[in-house]
Chain A
Amino acid sequence: MRFHTPKTFEQAAAIAAGASGLTRFLAGGTDVLVQLRAAIVTPDDLIDLKHIPGVKDIARTTEGGWRIGIAVSGAELGRHAGVCADWPGVVEGMQLVGSTQVQGRATLVGNLCNGSPAADSVPGMMAAGAMVSVIGPQGNRAVAVEDIPAGPSRTTLLPGEVITAIILPPRGAHGGDAYLRFIPRTEMDIAVVGVAVNLRRDGARIIEARIALGAVAPKILLVPAAAQAIIGTALDAVALAALSAAAIAASTPISDKRGTATFRKDIVGVLVQRAARIAYTRAEGASA
């Protein structure tokens, strides 16, 4: 195995583009190192991105959103008052990843690129409308988070491409988001179902919504039909029932060691209502 410590993303991308074997980028390492030790993935080239200037920074974008460096840990994200105020659903998803110790290392980008259908931080980012900036052999591009997952342990990133930051959009007025997952325990577990809801209100009425579902399909899904079920409503009983039905209809879960397909469908219908209620309440309290 070759270990690289590039000083720029351009160098990192060039190393990756020139590598012929199995390549992994190292940010927090909480998946890569575990997979290495368990002999699940033994990379030929391991490219540590933490020596690149700015990867630990969180900064306001000119549009009023947030640019989050690829090595910002869950613990650091959780202590950032600005991001926590704007995007509590994104933060609470990230903070469910792993243990307190893992939170000191684990990153949003790592959670996204690990490609797990059960990744806790990804539904929140999708619902928020987050983008990632990507650098690679074909130049720079911006990609919506929902376009990154390709299936279990796979992403749509091309060989030699590397994510340089996560961009959260401006929160704007009267918006709220929330993430809930189901696990049988209280922590140290993998989502059996994860649900993120992001919405904006005009008075009691929901005028925008994005809903993402985790662990109910080969990849994390953005479900416009679920969002449509509550847009224009005040989240009344009829809307909540339609929301559950849409979420269940979009889900194609498997039965595995963590839960049955039937159970996952039941739970996605329950959690999507609960997350929507939280987001709706948060939006009420939110100002511009």
Chain B
Amino acid sequence: MPKDDLKTAYRLVGTRPNRPDGLDKVTGRARYGADISAPGMLHAAVVRSPHAHARIIRIDASKALALDGVKAVITRADFPTGLTGEDWNLQENTLAGDVALYDGHAVAAVAATSKLLAQDAARLVEVEYEVLPHVIDVDAAMQPDAPVIRAGTADHSVPEGMHPNVVKYIEFGHGDLEAGFAEADLVRAQSYKTEATHQGYIEPHACLGQMGADGKGEMWVCTQGQWYIRRMCSAVLGTEASQLRVTPSEIGGGFGGKTTIFMEPLALALSRKAGGRPVKLVMSRAEVLRATGPTASASMDVKMGMKVDGTITAASVNFRMQGGAFIGSSPVGEALSCALACYTVPAVFHQGYEVLANRPKAAAYRAPGSPMAAFAVESLLDEMCHELGLDPLAVRLKNAAREGAKASYGPTYNRIGLVETLEATMAHANLKVPLGPNQGRGAAAGFWFNHGGETSVSLAIGEDGTVTVSVGTPDVGGSRASLGMMTAETLGIAYESVRVNIVETGALGVNEPTHGSRATFASGLAAVEAAKQAIAQMCARAAAEWGIDAEAVEWLDGAAVPAGPNAGKFPPMSIAEIGAKMGSTGGPISGHHEVTAGGVGASFGAHVVDVEVDPETGRTTVLRYLVVQDAGRAIHPAYVEGQYQGGAVQGIGWALNEEYVYGADGRLQNAVFLDYRIPVASDLPMIDTVIVEVPNPGHPYGVRGVGETGITPPLPALANAIAAATGVRLRSLPMSPPKVLAAIKANARG
């Protein structure tokens, strides 16, 4: 495998030091969202709709307010009116207005002196509903007789004559599609469905909010993005963003689901109504599953043309996705863009529809849209390869997107590592393991763009020469370690001499959340620039002391040194020496960099899974699992491997058992982890990983984002493996035992 085409050896980058948050987490000292308390604190509870779709006729909180210790009850009447666009969506989702749009939609909230009291009071809030017809399934929501969820939501893109639940239409492509299909030796079209799945983070949403009548506020919250919390809460409450200070807690997982708000404005609004007392609001798991963002469910058609040698001549996709009852929440655009991104195909055409349904407002979930698209495209590709007797991985390599190629979604690829990834996959020992009866092997490729985004980082030299880095991207996957390593590498000091803090909104300029696999990439890029600024200052301080030009000083191994013999003979001046006297040599030394980071490098991956399917029960056991993915460069390989494994595991859960089970009444039936079946540790083998490193030229250490691509190949890889094991092709997720067994039986009947 081409380990590193930059041929640079690093002291720290690529090593595996201890994680900086390890001791706090194993000793229970880390402070998560629900761990934050304040004097005089109240506890909140939320009243939620038991109906999938219902008009709110009346809310009577008098019995709740009569309880001793209940300090405030809020409804939508306590919020400003006149919001538009996504701000209105956020407000409406925070607290229903005229109509409850899904089972679990918040309709009122209570603050009281204890959590039990708040919960009792919430049960005493009387809400009168007029139940309306509802729709859950994306295809059903497009049918002429489907109940209209909100007329007038659709934007101008939607073709005339479509159901009002269809709110957005996207199409794009290039090349002559019909000519491409005509040129093919085999043309196949199939339809696929994926269920909504939840991010399943271990930590439920939790916050502590305080706001006075003057609109000044504080919030401590479990989030991937404190500035998003600030902006969204301020918009929903009609307050000024800079008057709200938001401090992120340690975070027990987000996976995209904590890049938005669900209940945070309720804590602030309750506090404001309760005279400014701080209000803690912690969701239960059932509330998380009923009322926070899963990803979208999808219904998809794919058509592909292939020559007998495996060349893909043309492909078209038509995707329908529901992301709940709000426009703009489904990732249909991303799904379309990712669908064919792995391949260079002369003619492609994409069509996508966003559809409203009476389900929770979808949030980002790890490579939003890409896993569903991959399920459809990579399943069909696999079927066609088998029909033509071709090796599916070799066909992927033959058609693989390369540097300089025009991507299916428009831009031209810079340096990318799909070819290297596929070659490493095909060379892996797992592919040579012989398979037994009822066992099958499946492979798939996957893609995610990655993201740069608004980024602001500060760095300060301490008086003992140690370094503090302040970043705005919460650490969901090891970014404190990777940022500390890159900073220490740049400064030439020990990793342990750098502390990376995730800071509150008052401490830096606006940062986007940790989303788009951007924290190590974008905050890393900014931290390196900030370190270079500090180095320049430290060189200048040394130059002034030595009485030589600043240009005659360079930075080497954590110290200022004369640049060559002509600069004079001075002993190295270490960062500790410079820090110790910086007060008298010109004042504090720091670095700061802010940027909307470009230069992002896409990450491609390939997965190979071996399964055994019990032909009598339809139960799938994952025997072995391989993830190969281009990291650009792995700053801390153990964390990169963890990201690869985590993405694979979430994808396995999505493929095999996770689903939202709704009753005929539109209520969610499985709002607990007992019945929302994410994989447990014993379900899985150790996930094998191979880190391919094709450095991203847009980052000083070659970093690509690594967090998201890993969830993209598992869905089709599992479907392809199950097809190989059973001879039965499943085109609808989850591939749960009842569905697999039914398919096996139907196949046996012929």
Residues of A within 8 A of B (CB): 38-39, 182, 184-190, 192, 256-260, 262-263, 266-267, 270
B669 close to A (CB within 8 Å):
yes
Q: Known A-B contacts: A38-B286, A184-B737. Give 10 more (CB < 8 A).
A: A185-B679, A185-B682, A186-B682, A256-B669, A257-B670, A257-B675, A259-B737, A263-B737, A263-B742, A267-B617
CB of B656 within 8 Å of the partner chain: yes
Cβ–Cβ contact B738 & A190, under 8 A: no
What are 6 A-B residue pairs whose CB atoms fall within 8 Å in the complex?
Answer: A186-B680, A186-B683, A188-B680, A260-B738, A270-B616, A270-B617
User: Closest Cβ of chain B: how far from A178's Cβ, in Å?
Assistant: 17
| A3 vs B123: C-alpha distance when bound (angstroms) | 24
B674: chain A residues within 8 A (beta carbon): 188-190
**Known contacts being A39-B119, A188-B674, is A257 close to B661, with CB within 8 Å?**
yes
Closest A residue to B657 by CB, please name it: A184
Residue of B nearest to A270 (CB): B616
Known interface pairs A257-B661, A257-B669; A185-B617 also in contact (CB < 8 Å): no
Distance between B749 CB and nearest chain A CB, rounded to angstroms: 14
Closest B residue to A256 by CB, please name it.
Answer: B669
- Please pick, from A186, A187, A189, A263, the residue contacting B738 in the complex, using a CB distance under 8 A: A263
Top 9 closest pairs, chain A to chain B, by CB: A263-B738, A257-B661, A186-B682, A257-B669, A270-B616, A257-B670, A184-B657, A188-B680, A186-B683
Contact between B680 and A185, CB atoms less than 8 A apart:
yes
Establish whether residues B669 and A184, one from each chain, have CB atoms under 8 Å apart when the complex forms: no
- Which residue of chain A has the shortest Cβ distance to B736 in the bound complex? A184
Tell me whether B736 and A187 are in contact (CB under 8 A).
no
User: B76 on the interface (CB 8 Å rule)?
Assistant: no
Closest beta carbon of chain A to B732's beta carbon, Å: 14
Q: In the docked arrangement, what's the CA distance between A266 and B614, Å?
A: 13
CB of A266 within 8 A of CB of B741, answer yes
Chain A residues with Cβ below 8 Å from B657 are 184-185
Of A188, A256, A260, A270, which is in contact with the most chain B CB atoms at under 10 Å from its CB?
A: A188
Given the contacts A185-B657, A185-B683, A259-B738, A190 and B617 also touching, CB distance less than 8 Å: no
Q: How far is the CA of A192 from the CA of B670 in the complex (A)?
A: 14
Within 8 A of A (CB), among B650-696: 656-657, 661, 669-670, 673-675, 677, 679-680, 682-683
* List of B residues within 8 angstroms of A38 by Cβ: 286
B636 to chain A, nearest CB (A): 31
Residues of B contacting A267 with CB < 8 Å? 617
B619 at the interface (CB under 8 A from A): yes
Q: Which residue of B lies closest to A269 (CB)?
A: B616
Give the contacts of B510-529 with A (CB-CB under 8 A). Answer: none
The answer to whether A187 and B682 have CB atoms under 8 Å apart is: yes
- Interface residues as binary, B60-98 with A (CB distance below 8 Å gives 1, 0 otherwise): 000000000000000000000000000000000000000
What does the 1/0 interface line of B611-648 toward A look like (CB < 8 Å)?
00000111100000000000000000000000000000
Q: How far is the CA of A150 from the CA of B587 in the complex (A)?
A: 80
A258–B657 alpha-carbon span in the complex (Å) = 10
Instruction: Decide: A182 near B738, CB < 8 A? Known: A187-B682, A190-B674, A258-B675.
Output: no
Binding site for A on B (CB under 8 A): 119, 123, 286, 616-619, 656-657, 661, 669-670, 673-675, 677, 679-680, 682-683, 736-738, 741-742, 745
Chain B hits for A260, CB < 8 A: 738
For the complex, would chain A's binding face be called helix, strand, loop or mixed by DSSP majority?
Answer: loop
Assembly CA distance A256 to B664 (angstroms): 11
Residues on A with C-beta less than 8 A from B618 are: 263
Once the chains bind, are A185 and B677 in contact (CB under 8 Å)?
yes
CA distance A260 to B677 in the complex (A): 16
* Chain A: CB-nearest residue to B662: A257
In angstroms, Cα B677 to Cα A38, docked, is 19
With A182-B617, A184-B736: A263-B677 Cβ-Cβ less than 8 Å = no
Cβ distance A16 to chain B, nearest Cβ, rounded Å: 26
Question: In whole angstroms, how far apart are the Cα atoms of A188 and B680 in the complex?
Answer: 8
By a CB distance below 8 angstroms, the chain A residues around B123 are 39
Q: Chain B contacts of A258 at CB under 8 A?
A: 675
Question: Closest Cβ of chain B: how far from A280's Cβ, in Å?
Answer: 18
- Distance A55 CA – B230 CA, assembled complex (angstroms): 56
Quote the shortest CB–CB distance from A187 to chain B (angstroms): 6
On whether the beta carbons of B677 and A189 are closer than 8 Å, the reply is yes
A-side contacts of B745, CB under 8 Å? 266
List chain A residues, Cβ under 8 A from B656. 184
How far apart are the CA atoms of A31 and B683 in the complex, in Å? 25
Q: Complex formed: what's the CA distance from A260 to B741 in Å?
A: 11
Q: Considering only CB atoms, which chain A residue lies closest to B119 in the complex? A: A39
Smallest distance from the beta carbon of A136 to chain B beta carbons, Å?
33
- Chain B residue nearest in CB terms to A274: B616
Give the distance in Å from the alpha carbon of A133 to the alpha carbon of B680 in the complex. Answer: 38
CA distance A263 to B744 in the complex (A): 12
> How many angstroms between the C-alpha atoms of A192 and B738 in the bound complex?
11
Please measure, in the bound complex, the distance between the C-alpha atom of A49 and the C-alpha atom of B742, giving whole angstroms: 47
A138, B617: Cα distance in complex, Å: 47
B741 and A263 contacting across the interface, CB-CB below 8 Å? yes
From B675, B680, B683, B741, A190 is in contact (CB under 8 Å) with B675
- Inter-chain contacts of B661 with A (CB < 8 A): 257
User: In angstroms, how far is the closest chain A Cβ from the Cβ of B23?
Assistant: 24
Chain A hits for B286, CB < 8 A:
38
Q: How far is the CA of A260 from the CA of B680 in the complex (A)?
A: 22
Q: Which chain A residue shows the least CB distance to B745?
A: A266
**Chain B residues closer than 8 Å to A39, beta-carbon distance:** 119, 123
Minimum Cβ distance to chain A for residue B47 (Å): 14
CA of A77 to CA of B657, assembled, Å: 32
| Residue among A38, A39, A186, A257 with max Cβ neighbours from chain B (10 Å) | A257
Bound Cα distance A186, B657 (Å): 12
Provide the bound-state CA to CA distance between A188 and B675, in Å: 9
Cβ contacts under 8 Å, B683 to chain A? 185-186
- Chain A residue at smallest Cβ distance from B678: A185
Contact A184 B682 (CB under 8 A): no
In the complex, the answer to whether A187 meets B617 with C-beta atoms within 8 Å is: no
Please report the C-alpha to C-alpha distance between residue A257 and residue B657 in the assembled complex, in whole angstroms.
11
In the bound complex, residues from chain B placing their C-beta under 8 Å from that of A189 are: 674, 677
Which residues of B lie under 8 Å from residue A190 when comparing CB positions?
Answer: 674-675
Chain B residues with Cβ below 8 Å from A266 are: 617, 741, 745
CB distance from B649 to the nearest CB of A (A): 12
CB-nearest residue of chain B to A264 = B738
Question: How far is A190 from B675 in the complex, measured between Cα atoms in Å?
Answer: 8
